[in-house]
């Protein structure tokens, strides 16, 4: 998995590619912990995310909760396969998710 973080003012975009699973979820957790407190808006760009597991979902929920009291959180460019995971868990009704 690769994470590219771009910051513009108080908005951060994390482009996440590859597999977000048990092996790589801690890497995303570290990236989230490293965000400045001044970040009030977070976007996950899943253009190149191929797979997400329950461990990956946990990190997405951590990010969602971290931004809940701020300006917002959304996920963009989600493939049908990855969207199905969010749909099955019901997270698609809580998180702003935009398909490709």
Could you read off the pLDDT of 43-82 as tens digits, one per residue? Answer: 999 999 999 999 999 999 999 998 988 988 999 999 999 9
Q: What is the mean pLDDT of residues 29-52?
A: 94
Asked if 42 and 12 count as a contact pair (C-beta separation under 8 A), the reply is: yes
Q: What is the CATH number of the domain that holds 7?
A: 3.30.750.24
| pLDDT on residue 69 | 85
* Alpha helix ranges (H) inside 1-100: 25-33, 54-68, 80-89
Count: domains in the chain: 1
Strands 2-8 and 11-20: antiparallel
What pTM was estimated for this model as a whole? 0.93
First to last CA, the chain: 20
Averaged pLDDT score across all residues of the chain = 94
The tokens of 74 are what?
Answer: 């959304």
What domain range includes position 13? Answer: 2-99
Give the three-state DSSP class for 89: helix
């Amino acid at each position: 998995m690769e994470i590219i973080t771009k910051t513009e003012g108080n908005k951060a975009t994390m482009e996440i590619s590859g597999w977000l699973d048990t092996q790589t979820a801690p890497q995303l957790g570290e990236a989230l912990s490293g965000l400045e407190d001044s970040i009030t808006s977070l976007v996950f760009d899943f253009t190149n995310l191929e797979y997400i597991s329950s461990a990956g979902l946990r990190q997405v929920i951590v990010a969602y909760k971290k931004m809940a009291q701020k300006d917002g959180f959304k996920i963009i460019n989600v493939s049908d396969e990855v969207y199905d995971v969010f749909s099955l868990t019901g997270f698609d009704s809580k998180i702003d998710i935009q398909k490709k």
